[in-house]
Amino acid sequence: MVKYNLNTKRFKEYRIKNKPLIYTIVKDENETIWAGGFTSGLLKYNSTKDEFLEIQSTVSPLSDRDVIQITPINKNELLIATWSGGLFKYEINKNTFSPYLLNDTIINRARCSLKDANNHIWLGTDSGVYEITPDQNITHYNENDGDLSLCSNRIFDIKEDKEGHIWFATSVGLTKLNKVEKKTFVYTKQKGLPNDFIYSLLIDENNQLWVSTNFGLSVFNPKAENFKNYTKNDGLQNNEFNGKAGYKDHLGTFYFGDIDGVNIFNPNTIIENPHLPKVYIENVHLFNKPLNQNELFKNKLSFKSNENVVTFNNSAISFINSEKVNYSYILEGFDDDWRSVTKERATTYTNLDPGNYKFRVKATNEAGVWSDHMAKLDIKIIPPWYKTT
């Protein structure tokens, strides 16, 4: 356990018996700090002595000392999640633990939780999400749940945004639950995430979602439905983050723990690059060989009917983190829509039928903002003589 002082910017380590791996820490409705981890049991912070002590109950002890999540229910009750012993309700005044079943089932590895605006408790486990209402109605969400399906059953964080939507950070992407529409929406690497394994999830004052992954941080704008990604090149200590190592304090400051330490920043102070790149078609290859023509200064190319394997090589002029530039392509007359976002600077089309096509390519800057500038090239595949009048 380590405490960070915002004023002195210094860390203090707390020595705990047998040096357990601490996995969870929370402040309850009485402002008391509780913690737990592997082999630690339930720990309570004594502010007078400035130390953590394990809770010992002689009446009904905690049967599993691997504590991975603590959820305050009210001022007198805590919900304690263990690794393999299930859930327990701890009554603070009585100093007693009692097993807590969901639908008569022992639930293990409930490693994250949320108490939402309606006082519903959400538990994220390795078998999906459980929603518990104040009158003890229980709803189970999983990856095979029709319109309410999650992108994975392994849940690592749960948050509620300002519009009342519930968000789940999973091992295979991000899931939004719209309770009004009774529908979930899934966001993965294919839609702009740098990596699908999400550890922690925080929501800023603008209702944007910040997630830590196995390849940097990503911020999702729900209105624009796009991601901006940050890596070590943007100032992070490492691209690989740790589970449950995300926190937002009362000042709006974010703390994300990666394998090299803690990244501390306020999302409101981040200045984005306002410059958008221009994208160019550098050259065109026919059957993987460059044409002997200057494509940069041409707006139309013609090919014979048997010259139908064409590769376009493109470049966006960006001098800040150019490796984070993304591209998207469309060949009008062949593609129905823009192709998926990619970092590849080249795209190949094969077996083009005779006809007229319009190739278009657009690019983002390193912050993921799309430029209005597009490179354009008209392509004509001339039909063979026997197919003409």
The per-residue pLDDT for range 332-378, each reduced to its tens digit, is 999 999 998 888 999 999 989 999 999 999 998 877 788 888 999 99
Cα-Cα end-to-end distance for the chain: 83
Cβ contact 268:204 at 8 Å: yes
Q: What is the pTM of this model?
A: 0.78
pLDDT band at 83 (very low <50, low <70, confident <90, very high): very high
Q: Which pair of structure tokens corresponds to residue 120? A: 């519903």
Tell me which of 250, 269, 288 is where a domain ends.
Answer: 269
CATH of the domain at 377: 2.60.40.10
Q: What is the dihedral of CA 99, 103, 104, 109, to 10 degrees?
A: -50
Rounded-to-integer distance, Cα 65 and Cα 67, Å: 6
Give percent above pLDDT 70 in the chain: 99
Task: Report the domain count for the chain.
Answer: 2
Same domain for 340 and 214 = no
- 295: Cα separation from own chain's centroid: 40
Cβ contact 277:363 at 8 Å: yes
Cβ of 255: how many Cβ atoms within 10 Å? 16
Same domain for 369 and 316 = yes
Q: Which pair of structure tokens corresponds to residue 72? A: 């305050």
Tell me which of 208, 236, 269 is where a domain ends.
Answer: 269
Same domain for 244 and 127 = yes
Tell me which of 244, 269, 294 is where a domain ends.
Answer: 269
Same domain for 226 and 79 = yes
pLDDT digits (tens, 9 = 90+) for 87-141: 999 999 999 999 999 989 999 999 999 999 999 999 999 999 999 999 999 999 9
Question: Which residues are bridge partners to 201 per DSSP?
Answer: 211
Q: What is the dihedral of CA 364, 369, 371, 374, to 10 degrees?
A: 50
Same domain for 240 and 208 = yes
Q: What is the pLDDT of residue 181?
A: 92
Rounded to the nearest 5°, which phi and psi values hold at 287?
Answer: 50, 45
**What residue numbers bound the domain in which 261 lies?**
2-269
